[in-house]
Structure 1
């Protein structure tokens, strides 16, 4: 049995186990850059266990087939699940995966036919187990990017989809800040009134346009050409385009952009971006991206909105099929404290060098 304990900077943890090393090693790589990953021999606390096991997959699938299951989309694939007392059994037929969550023993079992699929699912669900602990302890999940200075002072970036949260984070990170979050961040008001923040570990999706603007396409192509692999959720068309030196965006027939997908550790080793494990909110940026606009600072009337929080009404990628998460909490205190932080609006274009200058000015204003 191989096991690794995944823990946040403030001690919330889950243990990932398997009969072999692949699944725990995957979790260690996925989480270790933002949280901590420590090999252990004692199996304690909530556990996510993952293995390739076709016999167990068939058995769990038979359990779901014996009921009229509920259906949702989870991480981009259909999931069918049933609840029995303290247990939830689920399958994702197209992914070749089955799950069983035992709430009494706090054990989530994942089996499948493909080791990569099992390891990917185990990492996702391990993060959900930790999310449940954090939410129960008063943390919220914000739809925000975040970068942190050497003193831990963190600039959050809020905005609607396409506003420029990712562009802001990567531009500031390339300019010397440490990246704490690309798309989601945990936040909580502590006893002193400080808004503490923790990262949400994930693969980083960077569009071709931004990757080109940051002058990182060739670096990525060289790494791939040398035989290194990017995150397996990346579409093969993206890999082929990167190897060919492509710089133009790729799109699905649905209109969704296909983006390069980086492991968290590749942000450091490939892209020379420093990562942060925690911080405290010092200000909020509200960007807008307009292709042909002159980047500049602007007045902003937008504040923190309901859509800036991920909860059971806004979570569309990882719905709580297993009943892991606690009831929705009242984040009035957090919203009020965020509203008191300095804020700055800005317009950005697709000229990254000019954006960097305007972002530097924006951050300087928040620090006054």
Structure 2
């Protein structure tokens, strides 16, 4: 049996529904499909991927955003420049399934994988070529190394969403292109095959950047503002009261959590900021000139597709599965159950 986990990076549910996905549509009727699956907050790349490949909350795996302030060496660690696999604090599926031959293709979290094609390598090529290269690399690894478990991250979807926005035809076409790649992988593999398809986060339209650091500098407040697109960890240097007062007056801010309150959203960790905030609709904290983004608490960022397709193997689903609410935390225990791994993991999610 081969189990492949496909992540349509940054695939919003409404955009997925609008896109042409004939392959998935034709098979998901016989399998499993839910548009009632939630990811974790912040809805940022490294946080979302870490939860999917470990089956744990950010408070456990420690990937509390795309960057954090490391109190040990007093440095900012952004995972675009530091290897996230060196900082994740719980076991990955690659480690749990170490008896199988595994691969990670354009997956940011590669700890324990036997064969990898990294995001660093992928980002060297133009956006329009990325998902096709991911497809080609995946096929080569599957053919050459007898892979039994793999995570394939179609990162180009996220790039198109951020560049053009969640309603743009180019973004929808990229989702459709990935549907075509999935169909080709399905056709080529003759073995028993399980395909699980989900996303690390959704995507929402943004119209402008709000620069938190510049705003607070003008107010005479100096702190570390470490954004993950539409979320931000604030390391406040004991300026909590002043900062909270300012944040409460800003129309750009949606939610505000003190560190003690992050226990309620499973984000409480040594690395978590003294204050955590999310942006209001239409606002981006981190980057200029984006048309789509994520990281925040809006429905279109939090809810993602969850689809299971099988070939030459019959999976059983509970009779009420279509009415249930799911989480990306459920992906890892589902994979472990399918692979018949009897592991004592105490994962917070449930097998589907």
TM over 0.5, shorter chain: no
Greater C-alpha radius of gyration:
1
Q: TM-score, normalised on structure 2?
A: 0.25
Higher-strand-fraction structure? 1
Higher-helix-fraction structure? 2
Q: TM-score, normalised on structure 1?
A: 0.25
